[in-house]
Structure 1
Amino acid sequence: MRCGATRTPGAGRMHPYRSVLYMPGSNPRALEKARSLPADALILDLEDAVAPDAKGTARDLVTAAVREGGFGKRRLLVRINALDTEWGRADLEAAIAARPHGILLPKVSRPELIETVAAGLPEGHPSRVWAMMETPEGVLNAAAIAGAPRMEGFVLGTNDLAKDLGTRHRPDRLPLLHALSQCLLAARAAGLVCLDGVYNAFRDEAGLEAECAQGRDMGFDGKTLIHPVQLEIANRIFAPSEEELALARAQVAAFEEAQAKGLGVAVLDGRIVENLHVETARRTLAKADAIARMS
């Protein structure tokens, strides 16, 4: 796909991604618990959450869990180790054989990495490729990476990105906003899912709620999480509110009534309702339906 072309959103964007929980691949109890947690998606991790001497065990546990199933409607992403590490190639081969919904590649800086992985996926293989956007080079190449074949989503790695940029922590994340926005723009231009980075202080409910609200308002599909206690807040913040759903229904109804009268726009409570507003309203209603189907 050429850079700058708009791709129709794939099946991945039809699924909610309010809460996406990292689960350590070397912990069998955590993998079993993940089957009952109220997360929209899970990242079964072979990389940062796994010690070097447990990499092989984690690979076996994760691929066995994916094959066994039992995760309901949760989407499963397997984060492998980088291909230039001693574990990366074996991780990729095992993930391809296990056939999760997505294979998440760490520290993606250029589209050539995505192209290499995509070329190794057999025709008709169900797994899509996801990219961790966590390096300055990756952010600068976000549009090209988003346009690579078999791509389905970006996951922002804000901890690594902040480290490489040398930023200081601020509750408003001002030093990271340009990078977050650039990745989000690239993802949306290509029709991809885009997930915000983690919030490290998992017991700080107020801080997590504020950062989820910021990510939601920016346009992210959801939040990556490091602990199950964070699920309720992410699920609530990234779901349409009752007020938003009521407005969406009213906008659709007003516009359809105006169309029946041969009008191109409608007026609702003194505000113009055009086709673009109705498109957003229908997307809000579709998201609510998708969330309802999860439960």
Structure 2
Amino acid sequence: MTHPARIVRPRRSVLYMPGSKARALEKARSLPADSLILDLEDAVGPSDKAAAREMVARTVREGGFGHREVAVRINGLDTEWGAADLEAAAAAGPDAILVPKVGAPEDLLEVERRMTAAGAPESCAIWAMMETPQGVLAAERIAAATPRLACFVLGTNDLVKELGAEHVPGREPLLTALGMCLLAARAHGLACVDGVYNAYLDEEGLRAECLQGRRMGFDGKTLIHPAQLAVANELFAPSAEDLALARRQVEAYEQALAEGKGLAVVDGRIVENLHVETARALLAKAEAIARMQQG
């Protein structure tokens, strides 16, 4: 079996959808999102938790999401809803179960044990919300906790609250935490998705934050509104110029190898094996996006 953590797929746009809204769940099947998070936690009030759990589980079983990856965010196991959420989600078999406020590897090991007991398919991955100081400081150990773990999802609103920080352009107060989680994810072959941008009608601000996240190395961005999808899909996808340069780098390097050389020159810049690996990864991402959109 190829473990879910090792499957390479685009996660440019990861959209939260409220698990208590039937119309939103139906609409999710047609939105141009790479991934969807059907949310049982923050988006659902206490009086609606049980009904939302049943509706989300039924929605997952019904399917019809096409190429879209579907994750279910449960309530924490330390809440009165978490255990039932996890059991229902595991039995429904989404692509992933998103665990909030992960603080230690043991949190994920307990989730994994309960998933297995509830009959979760092997293809159902674990995603971990990284949104507390404890979680960030334990990020490397969490990333190595279980082979089921596929993705870190940054919870930047909670991090700002826990740090006593402020939301500011450029996110200077969060850069240390973002970098630590990204380093841990990459060290263990995990995907890593950036936190949300709250001003969902502020396209300029969203573009700036997506560009920052892409430059840092994030795979994509979590989103709170469908209006944000186009920007995230654009900025976390390779541009035509990026792809043209990547193809030229690969071609020049292969030609250099055929001539017995160890490097090539493209546009006045040295191209070595490490640059070619990056170029090939970019081309593979573009191909994966194209396949997904065709499907």
TM-score (norm 1): 0.95
Aligned to 1:77: 71
Equivalent position to 1:157, from 150, 155, 158: 155
Offset, 1:171: 0.5
- Counterpart contact for 2:10–2:219, Cα < 8 Å: yes
Read off the aligned partner of 1:256 and give its amino acid letter. Answer: E
**1:134-283 correspondence runs (5 A):** 134-149=131-146, 150-283=148-281
Offset, 1:12: 5.7
CA distance in 1, matches of 2:28, 2:97: 18
- Secondary structure of 1:37's partner? coil
- Counterpart contact for 1:25–1:50, Cα < 8 Å: yes
Aligned to 1:131: 128
CA distance in 2, matches of 1:186, 1:214: 19
**Per-residue CA distance 1:57-91 (angstroms, 9 max, x = gap):** 11111111111000001101100000011100000
Offset, 1:10: 5.1
Q: Quickly say closer, same or farther: Cα 1:82–1:11, change in 2 above 3 A.
A: closer
Offset, 1:115: 0.9
For the pair 1:93 / 2:84, whether they are aligned, the reply is no
Offset, 1:260: 1.2
Read off the aligned partner of 1:72 and give its amino acid letter. Answer: G
- Counterpart contact for 1:99–1:125, Cα < 8 Å: no
Read off the aligned partner of 1:81 and give its amino acid letter. Answer: N
TM-score (norm 2): 0.95
Give the RMSD, CA atoms, in angstroms. Answer: 1.4
Read off the aligned partner of 2:23 and give its amino acid letter. Answer: R
CA distance in 1, matches of 2:14, 2:171: 20
CA distance in 1, matches of 2:13, 2:105: 26
Offset, 1:144: 0.5
- Secondary structure of 1:224's partner? strand
- Secondary structure of 1:14's partner? coil
- Counterpart contact for 1:154–1:193, Cα < 8 Å: yes
Offset, 1:286: 0.6
- Secondary structure of 1:114's partner? helix
What count of residue pairs does the alignment treat as equivalent?
288
- Secondary structure of 1:161's partner? helix
Q: Moved runs in structure 1, 4+ residues, more than 4 A?
A: 8-13
Q: Which runs of 5+ in 2 are unaligned?
A: none
Read off the aligned partner of 2:127 and give its amino acid letter. Answer: W
Q: Percent sequence identity over matched residues?
A: 66
- Secondary structure of 2:160's partner? helix
**Per-residue CA distance 1:256-290 (angstroms, 9 max, x = gap):** 11111122111112211111000000000011011
